[in-house]
Each structure stands twice: as C-alpha cells, then as structure tokens.
Amino acid sequence: MLKEGLKIVLSGPSGSGKGTIVKELIKNETFVLSVSATTRMPRQGEEEGIHYFFKTKDEFCEMIKGEQLLEYAVFCDNYYGTPKSFIDECVENGKDVILEIEVQGAAQVKAIYPEAIFIFVIPPSLAELQNRLVGRNTETGDVIKKRLERAKEELYLYKEYDYVIINDNIVRAADYIEKIVCAEKLKSSRFEQAIETMLNYQGGY
C-alpha cells in the first residue's frame, strides 16, 4: 500500500563498516544508494558517479550556493554532500534510498526529512575500529588517530538516531536493517489513506 520508498540515513564512525553493509543491502534491488558529492581524491577502485561525484572545492561551493544539496559537511578537511534531485526521484519511484552520511549531515537531513529512518552503525569496540582503520592501509597514523578521536565524539550522538546496529557481522547487520525497513513500512501511521479508502467503500448492497 506504501507506494513511495523510504529514506534511510546510515551514519557511524569511519571504519564502522557502513560501506560494506551498504554493498550487502543493495544486492536487494529494493534498495538504492544515494551517490554523494565530495572534494576528496578518489581512492583506488572508486568510480565517478558510482561511488561519488568527485568535485573541486569551487564546484562544491557552487552546488551549495545553488541549493542543490540536501546536506553537506566538512570532514578531515574535505567536503561531502548529498544531491537533492537523486533522492527525490528514487523515493517517488518506490525505491528505498540509503544515505550513507556523516553525523553532521544526518542532523541536517533530520531537520528537512524528520520522517526518514535514522540508523547508527558502531563497531564492536574501539580496538576493533582501530584494527579496521589500520587494515585499510589508506591513511597515515596521524589521520587514524584523528579518526579514532572523532569516533569517540560521534558515539555521544547515538541517541539522535532511531536504531543502533553493532556491526560485528556484515550479513547479520544488513539483515537487521532490512527488518527495520520492513517494520517501518508496516507502521499504522503509513496506512491512514488506505484505511480511509476502505471506510469510504459503499459496496453494492
């Protein structure tokens, strides 16, 4: 009965496994990942328009001025933002859109779309988070230290989210999110129009 898709905001500390969970989720064609714009340099294997829209700082600032972004944030000296048009089109077509964004951006989205589902992903421990960051072999020790400190700051914000997922197993974490989305679609508040149509049924007798 719910024709429109849902907006699902997925946040969590860097290294918590958000990206890997998303890869598991989008195996289900109901889900689609919102592609963000960023000013950071592409990592190995990342493609334009698939993983990110890679922009210069000037290009990103023009998007801000043109109000083309649902939200944006600065993280480790780089800009990240979510283009509005992509989100709206997917939701109208019945797709459940995943917004994998930082906590700053999530707060901005919540102000505009309070009906969205907000899910906070955390690692089993900070020791495990450190192991994951080191294992990526993409950042210096100083950057990893900065990310760990930032992770502690972000953990304080878990109460701003509807759900918390401990990512100790990718498949299980993705399954939890699918169940959350299913339960959200069955909320009584989403059936107001359908019930009203039934109550207005006159029948032939």
CATH of the domain at 104: 3.40.50.300
Does residue 30 register a pLDDT over 70? yes
Q: In terms of residue numbers, what domain contains 123?
A: 7-35+94-199
pLDDT value, residue 84: 86
Instruction: Record the pTM.
Output: 0.80
Give just the sign of the alpha carbon dihedral 38, 111, 176, 154: positive
**134 belongs to a structural domain:** yes
The answer for residues whose C-beta is within 8 angstroms of residue 2's C-beta and 6 or more apart is 185, 190
Does residue 55 register a pLDDT over 90? yes
**61 belongs to a structural domain:** no
**65 belongs to a structural domain:** no
**Secondary structure (3-state) at 65:** helix
Task: Write down the mean pLDDT value for the chain.
Answer: 89
**51 belongs to a structural domain:** no
> Structural domain tally of the chain?
1
